[in-house]
Amino acid sequence: MNKVISSFKYASRGISYVYKTQRNFRIQLMMLLLAAVIGLLLNISVNHWIMLIIISCLVLTLEIVNTAIENIIDMITDEYHESAEKAKDAAAGAVLVASFFSVVIGAFIFLSYIF
């Protein structure tokens, strides 16, 4: 049981680090809060809540993974390497793609209740 508690402690420490150091993670959390408020105001269905939760989880998780990748690369070298730049850009691109489609999904959901 002690290992399980330690695992939660380490994971919480990682999430806290990302929250404190990554502006985009905080922005994404604010967008999640905004989407939740809009969802409550529009009284969206359970299925739509599930979709919003899944896509929001994906965006936040990818931001955490992006931060991990950037930190690993920075730990390995301080020198410029084209491969390191490509890896960082690809990880950031994954977050961007998920964020873009989360906006698209949110728009489809919310606009279906407004119009």
Q: Which of 114, 108, 115 is nearest to 48 (CA)?
A: 108
Q: Where are the domains of the chain?
A: 2-114
Residue with tokens 């490509």: 86
Class in CATH terms, 2-114: mainly alpha
For residues 51 and 75, the answer to whether their CB atoms sit within 8 Å is: no
CA angle 69, 71, 73 (to 5 degrees): 70
pTM for the predicted model, two decimal places:
0.92
pLDDT tens-place string over residues 43-96:
999 999 999 999 999 999 999 999 999 999 999 988 889 999 999 999 999 999
Active-site annotation, residues: 63
